[in-house]
Amino acid sequence: MKFLKQSLSLLLSFCLVLATAPGGFAAQADQSAAQEPVQAAQQTPGQLQQLVAPIALYPDALVAQILAAATFPDQIVEADRWLQQHPDLKGKQLGKEVDKQPWDPSVKALVEFPSVLANMDKNLSWTSSLGDAYVNQQQDIMNAVQLMRDRAEKAGNLKSTSQEKVSNQGQNIVIEPADPEVVYVPEYDPWLVYGAPIGIWPGWYSYPGLYLGVPGIAFGFGFGIGFFGGFGWGWHHWGYDWHHHGIVFDHHSYISHSRVFINRNNVNRAGGFHGANGFHGGGARGFAGGQHGLGAPHAQAGIHSGAFSGFNHGGVARGFSARGQSSFGGGFHGGGGFHGGGGGRR
Q: What is the pLDDT of residues 288-304, one digit of tens each?
A: 333 333 333 333 333 33
Look at residues 46, 39, 48, 189 and name the one whose alpha carbon lies nearest to residue 129: 48
User: Mean pLDDT across the stretch 314-343?
Assistant: 35
19, pLDDT greater than 60: no
Over 60: is that where the pLDDT of 319 sits?
Answer: no
Q: What is the pLDDT of residue 324?
A: 34
pLDDT of residue 1: 53
Whether the pLDDT of residue 36 is over 60: the answer is no
Q: What is the DSSP string of 251-275?
A: TEE-----SSS--TTSTTS-SS-S-
pLDDT grade for 107, boundaries at 50, 70 and 90: very high
pLDDT greater at residue 255 or residue 217: 217
Predicted confidence at residue 263, as pLDDT, reads: 81
Residue 222 has pLDDT above 90, yes or no: no
**156 versus 270: which is more confidently predicted?**
156
> Residue 23 CB: number of other CB atoms within 10 A?
9
Bridge partners (DSSP) of residue 167 are 174
**Could you tell me the pLDDT band of residue 28, with boundaries at 50, 70 and 90?**
very low
Residue 266 C-alpha from the chain's centroid: 21
Residue 221 is classified by DSSP as: -
